[in-house]
Amino acid sequence: MFSKKLMLVLSVLLLIVLAACGGAPAVEEVQKVEEPAATEAAVEEAQVSETQEVKEEAPVVEVAEPSGSRLETVKARGKLICGGNANLAGFGVLADDGTFSGFDIDYCKAVAVAIFGVADDSTLEIRPLSASDRPIALQTNEIDVLIRNTTWTTSRDTEWSADFGPTTFYDGQGMMVLKSSGITDLQGLEGGSVCVQSGTTTELNLADQMSAAGVNYEPKVYPDAPTTLAAYQEGTCDGFTTDKSGLISQMQELENPDDHVILAVTMSKEPLGPAYAHGDNAWGDLVDWTVYCTIGAEELGITSENVEDIAGSSADPVVLRMLGGEGDLGTGLGVDNDFCVKVIKEVGNYEEIYNRNLGPDTPFNVPRGLNDLWTNGGLLYSPPFR
Amino acid sequence: MTTATNIEQAYEAPPRSEVGVLGWLKRNLFGSVIDSVLTIISVSLLVWLVPAFLNWAFTTANWASVTTNKIILMQGPYPQGETWRVFFSAGIVAIMAVISLFVYKTDNKRLRQTMTLVWVASPVVLWYILAGFENSALLPKVDYSRWGGLLLTFVLAIFGIIASFPLGVLLALGRRSDLPIIRWLSTAYIEMVRGVPLITVLFMAQVMLPLVLPADARVPGMFRAMVAMALFSAAYLAENVRGGLQAIPKGQSEAAEAIGLNKFQEMYLIIMPQALRTVIPPLVGQFIGLFKDTSLVAIVGLLDLLGIGKSILSQAGFLQAQKEVYLFIALIYFVFSFAMSSTSIRLEKKLGVGQR
């Protein structure tokens, strides 16, 4: 009796399985090729900021050029698929209401708005990716655009067969020390120790910078960001190093943030920005100019609150060209002529995006620094809309 | 009569130190010098650790990290307007479980068979409730990339279990087959899969599979993980089942042949039921392992229970809540693993594993 029942269950399950995994065997054919990825990714996943990760070995793959532009594909699909991060504070996080939010996610939204006029469930899908998934997701066209705290480097530009858009966030490695130590530069760490996360470019940069500065120090290496910070808090090391944006946010988590100071020195360059598949200029143009729209709007003082008024009333040809009241710049990019109005209305200009995710009202309170307009001594600069 | 009285007198009450609480303590905790030392060390450790833990849990711990995120822990980025579908599905399973408790105790064979059929059909029904349909007002389509949290953990584990079981049985039979090609292929598959870690199989499924599929074939990451876990688990399961098959004496199949059963009937009616009964403990062990292994998909970017935990730790305000979040997740894994384990023990008792 038992056996019959069992065999019945068994045969039904078998049917389900056979129905479900028709194309399955492909997995095992390929599974022996890429083992190092596991350890590298495991290390990377432990980090808070993946701008500092070990450079992963991206398999170089020739992907056939799609016949039309990605823009046409996205429009036909009715939905933008944006590769994002689900666990980097301030940049890409799953909020308690089940939606993604963050600085990078807002740029995903901006691109979706530029194409469709709105960014909601039906027009934008955020696909959370791990650091090692992202080149493949880009190369295989699984995602349309990658906006996932990705540092623009030569090898990524070439080996990933990716193109990088305008940098949206300029980051760099910094060093935190106790105020009471009186240390003001790297030389001050002579004979001291530095807490650093293992397996990161941060660790390599630290070694490079310290040897260049001729400083003898002892690196104390920890497997992930929280452990590293905890070790520093317990006084195990004299200094603590990671990306400056990370330092600033993690400083708030220390028991007495005011006892600590971040040194002025910047030990590496980490420009973060959107990336898209190589060789699709029409698509790249749209992503680039969506970013420039947010920067240009800040330059012109256009915000989500006043953008519609300005678009309706302004007589300034510079403003009108950008907002689509004059000329056909938007149409030229393949989207609505007033795409920039919609982007600013829905997502905001650069300052609004920045303040919403990283600004003074957030626990991170990251100073604008390099991420300020060129007119304020930063690096943000939008080419002219004309 | 006198004899009886003498006997009663001969059995004096045992000394107080041998019965009751004292006796139990002496026998179990202070039976020898080593026992006493171990007892003292353990008790001091408990006295030292438990108050510290309780103090942390009730005063310092920031449980808001868990409570404000309970919905995403349960379902991940699944649209919160559709949360009722997740609750509804969980409710159906709970109701089925309660009904089963009674149904499987009755002698009504038809009722029990119906219940079994309901269980078999339920994953498909629940799948459609959760996935929804195109252009449906009541059950709109929910993209697979939005399944997460405990929901995704369960989908991966349940699919892995129900898919790897028949596959594993087939592989076990294949490995014992008289047909060389089938035997070689099964053996090669089993040994190859057992020779690589699960995480590499998951990486292959997430990272390499898209490269060999046609460019327009978008297989959701959840499906890739499901298939990878099932294929991986099947290889281990096959070896468990093979162990059961080898435990069946040759006389059983000879007897089956003697009464005129064909090969299929022999396997289906005689060998398999006995073999599978024997290997229930390792099978359930494998399923519990599979359930917990689903947490590896967090590394390949899926937002399962652990992945959601990592995301919570990136939310402003909960950056330092590792202890609370990971403890809570561990507790959830424990509750379900323990439930599986106790169910298996009940099943073993019912089927008399090890008794006959």
Mark yes or no for CB contact A34/B166 under 8 Å.
Answer: no
DSSP category for residue A213: T
Q: Which of A6-10, A87-91, A92-96, B59-63 has the lowest mean pLDDT?
A: A6-10
Which pLDDT score is estimated for A374? 95
Closest Cβ opposite residue B71 in set A37, A90, A96: A96
- Residues A166 and A275 reside in one and the same domain: yes
pLDDT at residue A120 is higher than 50: yes
> What percent of chain A is predicted at pLDDT more than 70?
82
Closest CA to A157 of A175, A135, A177: A135
Q: Which of A268, A294, A328 is the last residue before a domain boundary?
A: A268
- Name the DSSP letter for residue B16: G
Q: What is the 3-state secondary structure (H, E, C) of B326-354?
A: HHHHHHHHHHHHHHHHHHHHHHHHHHCCC
Q: Which residues of B touch A12 (CB under 8 A)?
A: 120
Return the pLDDT at A70. Answer: 92
Which of A251, A268, A285 marks a domain boundary?
A268
Pick from B162, B167, B273: which is nearest to A6 by CB? Answer: B273
Residues A238 and A287 in one domain: no
Distance CA A56, CA A300 (A): 40
Do A358 and A304 share a structural domain? yes
CA–CA distance, A276 with A295 (Å, rounded to integer): 20
- Of A53-67, A205-219, B137-151, least confident by mean pLDDT is A53-67
A24 to B206: CB separation less than 8 angstroms, yes or no: no
A373-377, B149-153, B341-345: lowest mean pLDDT where? Answer: B341-345
Residue A1 domain flag: no
What average pLDDT does this structure show over A207-226? Answer: 87
Residue A49 lies in a domain: no
Please indicate, yes or no, whether residues A290 and A200 belong to a single structural domain of this protein. no
Tell me the pLDDT tens digit for each residue of B1-45.
Answer: 455 555 556 677 777 777 778 888 888 888 888 989 999 999 999
Residue type, B111: L
User: Rounded CA gap, B214 and B265, in Å?
Assistant: 42
Alpha helix segments (H runs only) across chain B:
2-10, 20-28, 33-55, 64-67, 70-75, 83-103, 109-131, 149-175, 180-194, 198-203, 209-212, 221-246, 250-258, 263-265, 272-278, 280-293, 305-312, 322-351
Q: Please report the DSSP string for B72-116 in residue order.
A: HHHHTTS-GGGHHHHHHHHHHHHHHHHHHHHHTTSS-HHHHHHHH
Spell out which residues of chain A touch residue B197, defining contact as CB-CB under 8 Å. Answer: 38
Chain A contact probe: residue of B68, B72, B103, B203 with most A CBs at under 10 A = B203
Which residues in chain B touch residue A46, judged by CB atoms under 8 angstroms apart?
none
Do the chains contact at A132 and B75, CB–CB below 8 Å? no
A224: CATH: 3.40.190.10
- pLDDT for residue B325: 93
pLDDT at A265: 85
Q: Give the per-residue pLDDT at A341.
A: 95
Residue A177 bridge partners (DSSP): A239, A261
pLDDT at A63: 45
Q: Based on the domain organization, do A151 and A218 belong to the same domain?
A: no
Mark whether A135 and A195 lie in a shared domain.
Answer: no
User: Percentage of residues in chain B with pLDDT exceeding 90?
Assistant: 62
Where in the sequence is the domain holding A326, given as residue range(s)?
70-170+271-376
Asked if residue A283 and residue A165 are part of one domain, the reply reads: yes
Q: B259: which 2 tokens? A: 């009464």
CATH superfamily membership of B160-351: MetI-like (1.10.3720.10)
How far is Cα A81 from Cα A98, in angstroms, rounded to an integer? 17
B287-308 pLDDT tens trace: 999 999 999 998 888 899 999 9
Q: Please say if the pLDDT value at position A273 is more than 50.
A: yes
> What mean pLDDT is reported for chain A?
82
**A192 and A149 share one domain:** no
Inter-chain contact A363–B316, Cβ cutoff 8 Å?
A: yes
Q: What is the mean pLDDT of residues B172-194?
A: 95
Cross-chain residue pair A98–B113, CB shorter than 8 Å: no
Q: What is the pLDDT of residues B195-252, one digit of tens each?
A: 999 999 998 888 778 778 776 667 888 999 999 999 999 999 999 999 999 999 999 9
Which of A224, A241, A268 is the C-terminal boundary of a domain? A268
Q: Quickly state the pLDDT bin for B121 (edges 50, 70, 90).
A: very high
Chain A with chain B: Cβ pairs closer than 8 A: 206
Q: Hey, which of A103-112, A150-159, A178-187, A228-237 has the most confident mean pLDDT? A: A103-112
CA neighbor of A119 nearest in space, from A348, A317, A364: A348
Measured between CA atoms, how close is B316 to chain A, in angstroms? Answer: 6
CB pair distance less than 8 Å for B209 and A13: no
Is residue A129 domain-shared with residue A203, that is, in the same domain? no
pLDDT of residue B255: 93
Find the angle CA(B302)-CA(B193)-CA(B305) to the nearest 5 degrees.
Answer: 20
B211:A139 CB<8 A: yes
pLDDT for A61: 44
Point out the residue among A12, A48, A128 whose CB comes nearest to the CB of B301: A128
β-bridge partners, B142: none
Q: Sorting pLDDT into bands at 50, 70 and 90, what band is A2?
A: very low
- Say whether B80 and A97 touch across the interface (CB within 8 A): yes
Q: Which residue of A6, A35, A253 is in closest CB contact with B200?
A: A35
A145 has a pLDDT exceeding 90: yes
Tokens of A76: 């036909």
Residues in B closer than 8 angstroms to A126, CB to CB, are 77
Is the Cβ–Cβ distance between A104 and A92 less than 8 Å? yes
On whether both A188 and A337 belong to a single domain, the answer is no
Do residues B63 and B324 lie in contact, with contact meaning Cβ atoms separated by under 8 Å?
yes
Domain assignment present for residue A313? The answer is yes
Average pLDDT over residues A234-242: 90
Looking at residue B13, what is its pLDDT?
A: 74
Chain B residue closest in CA terms to A88: B314
Whether B167 and A250 lie within 8 Å, measured CB to CB: no
The pLDDT assigned to A7 comes to 54
Which residues make beta-bridge pairs with B140?
A: B133
Strands annotated E in chain A = 80-84, 87-88, 92-94, 100-101, 124-128, 145-146, 162-164, 169-171, 173-178, 193-197, 218-222, 239-243, 260-262, 270-272, 275-277
CB contact under 8 A, B201 and A12: no
Residues A115 and A182 in one domain: no
Contacts of B307 in chain A (CB under 8 A): 86-87, 128
Domain ranges of chain B: 74-142, 160-351
Domain count, chain A: 2
Mean pLDDT, range A274-284, rounded to an integer: 93
**Two tokens, residue B328:** 């809570």
Contacts for A369-375: CB closer than 8 Å, 24+ residues apart: A369/A170, A369/A244, A370/A170, A370/A172, A371/A169, A371/A170, A373/A295, A373/A298, A373/A299, A375/A299
**Is pLDDT at B91 greater than 70 in this prediction?**
yes
Rounded to an integer, what distance in angstroms lies between the CA atom of residue A209 and that of residue B17? 72
Say what the pLDDT of residue A21 is: 43
